[in-house]
Amino acid sequence: MERGKMAELESLETAAEHERILREIESTDTACIGPTLRSVYDGEEHGRFMEKLEARIRNHDREIEKMCNFHYQGFVDSITELLKVRGEAQKLKNQVTDTNRKLQNEGKELIIAMEELKQCRLQQRNISATVDKLTLCLPVLEMYSKLREQMKSKRHYPALKTLEHLEHTYLPQVSHYRFCKIMVDNIPKLREEIKEVSMSDLKDFLESIRKHSDKIGETAMKQDCRYNQWKIIAKIFFSLLLSPNIKAQQQRNLDNIVSQHPRISGGKKSKKEVCASSDLEVPGAQDLVDFSPVYRCLHIYSVLGARETFENYYRKQRRKQARLVLQPPSNMHETLDGYRKYFNQIVGFFVVEDHILHTTQGLVNRAYIDELWEMALSKTIAALRTHSSYCSDPSLVLDLKNLIVLFADTLQGYGFPVNQLFDMLLEIQDQYSETLLKKWSGVFRNILDSDNYSPIPVTNEEIYKKIVGQFPFQDAELEKQPFPKKFPFSEFVPKVYNQIKEFIYACLKFSEDLHLSSTEVDDMIRKSTNLLLTRTLSNCLQNVIKRKNVGLTELVQIIINTTHLEKSCKFLEEFITNITNVLPETVHTTKLYGTTTFKDARHAAEEEIYTNLNQKIDQFLQLADYDWMAMEPGSKASDYLVDLIGFLRSTFAVFTHLPGKVAQTACMSACKHLSTSLMQLLLEAEVRQLTLGALQQFNLDVEECEQFARSGPVPGFQGDTLQLAFIDLRQLLDLFIQWDWSTYLADYGQPTCKYLRVNPTTALVLLEKMRDTSRKNNVFAQFRKNERDKQKLIDTVAKQLRSLINSHHS
């Protein structure tokens, strides 16, 4: 039962589906009916579907038949009309065919023309398209050609601009062409080529400025030198107005400068004006070096986005070049040209860097320049300290100083701080002073060695005025004397005085352009002059005084000369004051020590005179040949002593020009030495015995000495002052010759004692010599009463003298 129901339901569903498919077939386009029929054959009831389809077809056929039957008469009428129309249509067809034939015959030429026109139009379109494409491509090709031409002519920065336009403006418009792709691929290579070529140009530029640094520096220093010459002229004119006393020396300096530069005329110009006028004659850095490579390379690297790389490379290479420039040659100190080349290279280096600083934006900056300058300054100062220490020629040191000043002023003009250079110049000034002192030591030695140590003779007024002009000397009495006459001093006085002035001028030359105040210059000159006087001149004078072969005449003349030089020190003070315009009363002004130098030299000469006199006296005394055993004295003084007294008289006659105290001291010293030497001669151990006759002969010699003292060989002694030099001998001889022992022994120790100067020890020594003589020569005389009494007396006196000596010691 249930199966029957289910079969019935399935039959109903299949029937509904077949109905739907039939409706779809009726309403669907024939081209799309395939899927519908496919669904029928996929099912299992296609047989029933065919039955229904046949039934539906029969239904439609019946409907068609009904419809045809309904419209049959109309159909017949239509067929009739169509038959009529067919005939007319045939006629029309014939006419159209005929017309077409005629038209075809007539249009063949037109078709041919139209075909040709079509081809022309096609070609025209192609040409137009080609022109349009070429219009787009030709600028690209022209730009590329221009690019290659610019690179060929090494116009790299314009080439880079052209490449930029080509890449961003022209190539995008024709990017679909194959040649454009090749160009696009080649652009990085071109950029790299431009970069490499520009870097090569930069390297050539760096090599060029390395080679031209010397010339650039020389040019810059010449420009600054001209400016300095204007300053010197103005300074000298100003000095001439203020200090007419130094007019001659300053006028010589001015004449030298003007003669070397005849185009210089009056009027003071600024440094800028001077340098501007000199540009006509002296080229600048930009004229000596083509800076365009560095500008081009900078722009190229900036455009390529590698400016920082370029800046780092440029600075690194310039640092290397700076180190090379700052390395002085080992023989730089030998000539001024060595220093000049060294300075020229340094100035040239920094002039180039200054030019780059002011003509580029950021390639170098002030911090970088300052860093380089600090390095250069320290290395330069170290090199100058080392090499200048080898220099022993003051002229070279002075030229070096002027060169350093020019070097410093030149760089200061470009904004570089140079205070350390001027501080170093003060160190070199000490070395300059030492070289000057060495040079003047030789000058003074030559002057002193070549001097004849005789007063300068003058035969006429001209010579007299010449010497007075060289040395400040005034003597009214000498001026009144007729010619020929003599100055009291020898030639070395004016020569030494003038050399001291020349030394002062040499010191002044070094102080120029050091930016020192007048007080500082004055102090520097005075200190150096003091060294010259107290060390150099003093040593030279001392060496002359201490020479073995120097005579008394030379020593006397040295004393006279140093006396006059001492008096001239105040004129040297005035001379320095006139040069520096600093009054000696100014606070902290250094005083000249010349008076001390000449006083010390004079004292040394005086001591040498005393020593020489004593040596001469000793030489005469060595000729003494006393017969200590003589029984009777001679009739006159010994020959050696007469000669000695004659020598002393002639010597002291030369002392007339010496200061009074010097002559008196020398005379007193000689007499005391003679007295002491005679006493030593009498008491020396080798003289074991002496007789009264020998003592009387010795007394004659002492009397000759006393006579010489009384004669006043040197004026100025009061009374018997000079005779007192022989008082010890006189009292000793009187005691023995007069045999006045009772008085001596009785008055010994009393202030009014007649033999106050006789020492008991001295008396005992001499007495022992006489007693030994008596014992030896009077062997048989001991049997005589007088001789025995005398011997006893001698023994008694000797005993008493020993007692006095012992009591004195206790």
Residue range 673-707, pLDDT digits in tens = 999 999 998 888 888 888 889 899 999 999 999 99
Mean pLDDT within 765-784: 62
pLDDT-derived band at 499, boundaries 50, 70, 90: very high
Phi, psi dihedrals of residue 33, rounded to the nearest 5°: -80, -15
Residues 6 or more apart whose Cβ sits within 8 Å of residue 301? 195, 198, 307, 309, 310
- Average pLDDT over all residues of the chain: 81
Closest C-alpha to 599, from 569, 632, 629: 569
Query: How far is CA 395 from each of CA 335, 336, 438, 510, rounded to the nearest angstrom?
Result: 11, 10, 12, 10
Mean pLDDT within 775-787: 52
Residues 6 or more apart whose Cβ sits within 8 Å of residue 238? none
pLDDT of residue 227: 53
* 38-52, 147-161, 258-272: range with lowest mean pLDDT: 258-272
The percentage of the chain sitting over the pLDDT mark of 90, rounded to a whole number, equals 14
CA–CA gap between residue 566 and residue 598 (Å, rounded): 6
DSSP helix, strand, coil percent of the chain (3-state; round to 5): 80, 0, 20
Mean pLDDT within 714-720: 81
Mean pLDDT within 26-49: 70
pLDDT of residue 241: 46
CA–CA gap between residue 681 and residue 687 (Å, rounded): 8
pLDDT-derived band at 57, boundaries 50, 70, 90: confident
More confident residue, 205 or 37: 205
DSSP H/E element including 274: helix 271-278
pLDDT of residue 781: 45
* Secondary structure (3-state) at 688: coil
pLDDT of residue 560: 87
Checking if the pLDDT of 495 tops 90, the result is: yes
CA–CA gap between residue 515 and residue 521 (Å, rounded): 10
The percentage of the chain sitting over the pLDDT mark of 70, rounded to a whole number, equals 86
pLDDT-derived band at 272, boundaries 50, 70, 90: very low
pLDDT of residue 102: 85
pLDDT of residue 456: 92
CA–CA gap between residue 294 and residue 353 (Å, rounded): 12
pLDDT-derived band at 188, boundaries 50, 70, 90: confident
Burial 34-44 (b: 16+ CB within 10 A, else e): eeeeeebeeee
- 227, 307 Cβ separation under 8 angstroms: no
Burial 205-243 (b: 16+ CB within 10 A, else e): bbeebbebbbbbbbbbbbbbbbbbbbbebeebeebeeee
* 39-43, 184-188, 429-433: range with lowest mean pLDDT: 39-43
Q: What is the dihedral of CA 302, 303, 309, 311, to 10 degrees?
A: -20
pLDDT of residue 253: 47
Checking if the pLDDT of 268 tops 50, the result is: no
Checking if the pLDDT of 236 tops 50, the result is: no
Angle, alpha carbons 449-539-654 (nearest 5°): 55
CA–CA gap between residue 788 and residue 42 (Å, rounded): 203
Give the end-to-end CA distance of the chain in Å, rounded to a whole number.
Answer: 190
Phi, psi dihedrals of residue 759, rounded to the nearest 5°: -85, 135
pLDDT-derived band at 43, boundaries 50, 70, 90: low
Query: How far is CA 166 from each of CA 136, 176, 499, rounded to the nearest angstrom?
Result: 12, 15, 82
Residue 368 tokens, joined:
């970088």
Checking if the pLDDT of 273 tops 50, the result is: no
**Global pTM value:** 0.66
More confident residue, 453 or 304: 453
* 24-28, 42-46, 503-507, 751-755: range with lowest mean pLDDT: 42-46
Checking if the pLDDT of 174 tops 80, the result is: no
Mean pLDDT within 583-605: 76
pLDDT-derived band at 44, boundaries 50, 70, 90: low
DSSP H/E element including 212: helix 178-242
Query: How far is CA 396 from each of CA 203, 401, 406, rounded to the nearest angstrom?
Result: 38, 8, 15
Checking if the pLDDT of 383 tops 70, the result is: yes
CA–CA gap between residue 34 and residue 25 (Å, rounded): 10
Residues 6 or more apart whose Cβ sits within 8 Å of residue 356? 291, 294, 363, 364
Count H helices, E strands: the chain? 29, 2
pLDDT tens for each residue of 440-462: 999 999 999 999 999 999 999 99
